[in-house]
Chain A
Amino acid sequence: MAVTSIGQAALDGVEPSEAAPVRKTGFRRRFARFARNRLALAGAICLLVLLVVAVLAPWIVPYPDDVADSLNFDAVLQPPSLEHPMGTDEVGRDVLTRVMAGARWSLSMAAIVLAIAVTIGVPLGLFAGYYGGALEQVLMRITDGFSAVPALVLALAITVLLGPSLINAMIAIGFVWWRSFARIAHGQTLSRKQETYVTVARSLGASDMHIMFREILPNISSPLLVAISLNAGYAVLTGTALSFLGAGARPPTPEWGQMVAASRNYLPEAWWPSLFPGIAIFITVVSFNLLGDGLRDYFSEE
């Protein structure tokens, strides 16, 4: 990780190329250490399975026609059976099929939200922490402003104003979420900019941009990675909540929050079309949290 940084390499007296061959065994050992945390490993495996399901969904779901808009009025709201392990919903679609197809939307939700949030938040935090002064004051007050409005409320408002749709919900949540990364990047940069490798790089005549993105950024990547993993879960929760409230995904998109919202009118008699999408959300979020928690333990040991 620090291999990319001149300052660090100069301090260690190690040429970047020299460090390369040891990496492989290093990786294996690191993975073994990470894997000692059983829960974290379980989280990682769950996410991997979800990813595979999300990618292969069109081919592996039991009833491919039921992914979107099919109507089977002769099989409405059937309880779980061998034929339909999670039952059927209010228009007779197989719930298992739709839950599997929904993995796509939740994982894309996490990916897009985090991509937007990290792209906005991390540079802002770096600038604020590195330059300090008036720039820092202005940027951090804006961050405070964003943090003072509950994420869900701001995201909900922006989504509705943009026009309710799943992609707008993703954009809105991403636009709200940057503040977390700005704060982390800011705090980390403040503590890192005093360190020797930064001073060394500066004395070697490196530009501010180089110092921020090539020296400091790689060194704050571990806390950022932990934050990304932990925030992914919250982003999924917020996304499904927006869809549940009717601001995100629209029927017939098989999005988990939207599925719960559509089926809640058939409670308490038909509990299955509400129960299973919720469990899917729960498992996804728990997996992200387990992974994030494991990463945090792993990095703090390091």
Chain B
Amino acid sequence: MRFLRRVLNMLVVLLIVSLLMFVLVRVLPGDPVGAALGDGATTEQIEKFRVQMGMDKPLQVQYFAYLRGLLEGHFGVSLMEPRDVGTIVWERLPATLELVVCSLALAILVGVPLGILAATHRNGPIDQASRLWSLTGVSFPNFWAALMLQLVLGAALSLVPITGRITGPPPEHITGLYLVDALLTGNFRAMGDAARHLITPTIVLALGPLAQITSMVRSSMLDELSRPYVGFSQAVGMPRFLINYKYVLRNAFSSTLTLIGFLFPLMIGGAFVVEKVFAWPGLARFGADAILANDYNAIVGVTLVICLFVVVVNFVTEELYVALDPRIRLER
């Protein structure tokens, strides 16, 4: 029952977003037709184009036509490259996913242990450093951090390539995720190549989330450590290690899980900038280009796909949260 309601909520949110974006691109003064045809277009050409794209019809008719198209898998034709937006999104998606997933993994793998250490060694040097880090880490403008890392790691030290996703030929296409494809086909040259390209954008995109995860793990651990059950476990002689890593961590982890649901859209937003700077051939760069070029089908399509991911990730993290934490599970 609850599950059904949540799925329904998800659909409602998607519907709202599609309506919002659809109306925005058509109502706001941006001129997609002019952008598509260029300045030299005659009134006649413009009129013909509008009829061709169905833009002469009333807004609600256009919207329902668009929704019907979506159900059949058509996102409409992109103005930048004359193909269906769905096809382009499908091609571009793996690059962005690879980048975002790697960044999220980096943020979790470093942030969680750092947060734990900070909380269990409260006011020690690690704690002070992690607190400073959680305030500064979220404050870097990511485009600037990207340029500076390119400057230092790429240009000055020549450790990593400056832009792009791969230098040599990409591995055989299976999932579209280069690391996975390279592993599956045993193509270790391509794997190393792809990994080296991934390093800088991954770090840039992970900076903010890493800081937020650290500070969330720290504060929720401290919160849990002050609970009576911790004092009780100590009073009956349970060892510190067991209390910290079995009891407290488990309870502190659930709040970190919800944070991940919150961080995901933030990272996709970050990818719009990072992919631009690194010339990363992903969905986010396509989205940024589409927005800047007033490519309205692409804008709506890309936003909807991103939104679908955000909603699904939120759904999954919340379900996991409920499943992991009996406090919430039992209250329902």
Contact = CB atoms under 8 A, between A and B. Distances in A.
Q: Do chains A and B touch in the complex (CB under 8 A)?
A: yes
Interface of A: 39, 141-142, 144-154, 156-158, 160-163, 233, 237, 240-241, 244-247, 257, 260-261, 264, 267-268, 271, 274-275, 277-278, 281-282, 285-286, 289-290, 293
A141 B265 CA distance: 17
A274 B268 contact: no
A178 B264 CA distance: 19
Contacts of A277: 144
Contacts, number: 150
7 contacts: A157-B25, A161-B28, A233-B138, A233-B139, A267-B151, A278-B141, A282-B136
A160 B265 contact: no
Contacts of A233: 138-139
Q: Which size class do B's interface residues fall under?
A: 35 or more
Nearest to A164: B292
Given A149-B265, A152-B273, A282-B139, 6 more contacts: A149-B307, A150-B272, A274-B147, A285-B138, A285-B141, A286-B136
A135 to B, nearest CB: 16
A200 B74 CA distance: 58
Interface in B1-38: 9, 12-14, 16-17, 20-21, 24-25, 28-30
Contacts of B291: 153, 156-157, 160, 247
A177 to B, nearest CB: 13
B143 interface: yes
Contact of B135 (A39, A152, A261): A39
A116 to B, nearest CB: 16
B110 to A, nearest CB: 20
The CB with the most chain A CB atoms within 10 A, among B25, B276, B307, is that of: B307
Chain A interface, DSSP helix/strand/loop, else mixed: helix
Contact of B150 (A156, A245, A267): A267
A130 B143 CA distance: 41
A150 B269 contact: yes
A244 B143 contact: yes
Nearest to B30: A161
A39 B134 CA distance: 13
Nearest to B270: A152
Nearest to B14: A148
B268 A241 contact: no
B292 A161 contact: no
B311 interface: yes
A10 to B, nearest CB: 35
Nearest to A159: B291
A161 B25 contact: yes
B139 A157 contact: no
Contact of A153 (B140, B294, B303): B303
Given A39-B135, A160-B291, A268-B155, A148 B143 contact: no
B299 interface: yes
A257 B141 CA distance: 9
